[in-house]
Chains A and B, each alone.
Chain A
Amino acid sequence: MTKVTYIDASGQSRTVEAQIGSTVMETALRNSIPGIEAECGGACACATCHVYVAPEWAEATGKASQMEEDMLDFAFEVRPTSRLSCQIKVAEALDGLVVTTPAKQG
């Protein structure tokens, strides 16, 4: 089983099992991870599932698409490894992925 770790803004870490093919956002909601709101339900239309991918995972998760970059303009405190978690699909290669959630989404 693939694992994803979410670290919240206060530093608390939560590791959960993730289904291959589901998104990092869906996995967070399914496991009641705080700090991810996903107002639009995964349509890449709201920027309330913003996460910082841990630098060592940035290459594996890849870069944000053009549409995702546009939507990241609506997020706060955007950093080089910022992504929208609804746009990251869990895959075997991402087993152990670590993301941090920002202090404020909406």
Chain B
Amino acid sequence: MNEVLSTDVAIIGAGPIGLFAVFELGLLDIKAHLIDILPKAGGQCAELYPEKPIYDIPGFPVVSGQELVDNLMKQIHPFGPKFHLGEMVERVEVAGTAERPLFRIGTDNEKTIEAKSVFIAAGGGSFQPKKPPIPGLDAYENKSVFYSVRKMEHFRDRRVVIVGGGDSALDWALNLHPIAKRITLVHRRDAFRAAPHSVNAMRELVNTGDMEFVLGQVTAVKGEDGQLSALMIRRENGEHYDHPCDDMMPFFGLTMKLGPIAGWGINLHENLIPVDTAKFETSVPGVFAIGDINTYPGKLKLILSGFHEATLAAQRAHHYVYPDKKLTFQYTTSSTSLQRKLGVS
């Protein structure tokens, strides 16, 4: 695609802190783009605990993860942030000078975003598929073991084993069924947490012999040069057998990994980014780290602390975006100029 976009601040991570940063930047006339590997905004709040009540957001005696995200989306709406969802930032390249930096952010979707400042609000890192602890599995990844489907055609006329019992496993079993030579679903129990209509559709195909269901767990892989020939499966009764196959797709949900951040030339300390507590700036001028991903003396991984960090980082980012303008501090309660930006004046 090689699209090149331009903005004031690129925010990596669309969790609650990244979202609130849009608000604080917006008040200062700073435009923002957000990039997140998840297909939706909200980060952990939306992915891990949308229904879990949170009790320590100031002014909200109780609010669920999803409600908080919905409210933040409403709050930042006047500033028209641009979202790049389902994309992972692979590169952050520094161009320009320390005084007037320019950054080029490259995503795995071949997009390039140019920005005057970067906010890393990546929480615990990026959500990536959990990889089963099967010895030697890495050698097969992206050749005959896949955690997502990029090209359906790859699976044409192949014997595919799908492991798991959730929506991803069931959806792909059903979607690949017309293309693949044979689909086998392997799950540890005869119960599924997927949508009932998917489970029914799968059971019907199993009943007619058009799909196979094996109650068990994969314990080993066999093959050569990255190409699987069989999986060793342990059935519920403890018996092992070899199941011939060409491809395997394990679906065990997502986990947080630091990911490519380690390669961006920013100082790290135990997978966290050290920042100062006046500007929340990293070792690279113009790059800020806010929320769970940063560390400083007394750091607490709280959403409310992240909001404060975003606010102070935005003040400093103004210096990079408008180097010649003086920043005057204003309140939303009394400033008509701020109220105009919020669309309430």
Contact = CB atoms under 8 A, between A and B. Distances in A.
A39 B187 contact: no
Give chain A's interface residue range (CB within 8 Å of chain B).
20 to 34
B48 A45 contact: yes
B279 interface: no
Contacts of B178: none
B255 A104 contact: no
Given A39-B124, A69-B191, A76-B132, A45 B49 contact: yes
A17 to B, nearest CB: 25
Interface in B112-143: 124, 130, 132-133
A48 B52 contact: no
B48 A104 contact: no
Contacts of A36: none
Contacts of A78: 188, 217
A39 B193 CA distance: 21
B189 interface: yes
Contacts of A47: 253
**Chain B's interface: helix, strand, loop or mixed, by majority?**
loop
Contacts of B322: none
A74 B124 CA distance: 19
Contacts of B15: none
Interface string B230-274: 000000000000000000000011011000000000000000000
Given A43-B49, A45-B48, A45-B52, A74 B253 contact: yes
Contacts of B193: 70, 73
Interface string B29-67: 000000000000000100011001000000000000000
Contacts of B164: 73
A47 B253 CA distance: 9
Q: Is the interface of A mostly helix, strand, loop or mixed?
A: loop
B252 A43 contact: no
A46 interface: yes
A103 interface: yes
A76 B131 CA distance: 9
Interface residues of B, number: 21
A51 to B, nearest CB: 16
Contacts of B256: 39, 106
A69, A73, A103 interface centre (most CB from chain B within 10 Å): A73
Interface string B173-195: 00000000000000111010100
A73 B124 contact: no
B78 interface: no
Contact of A46 (B191, B217, B253): B253
B165 to A, nearest CB: 5
Contacts of A77: 133, 217
Nearest to A46: B48
A40 interface: yes
A12 B246 CA distance: 39
29 contacts: A39-B48, A39-B256, A40-B44, A40-B48, A40-B49, A41-B49, A43-B48, A45-B48, A45-B49, A45-B52, A46-B48, A46-B253, A48-B255, A72-B188, A73-B165, A73-B166, A73-B187, A73-B189, A74-B166, A76-B130, A76-B132, A77-B133, A77-B217, A78-B188, A78-B217, A103-B133, A104-B133, A106-B130, A106-B256
The 5 closest A-B pairs by CB, nearest first: A106-B255, A104-B133, A74-B253, A70-B193, A43-B49
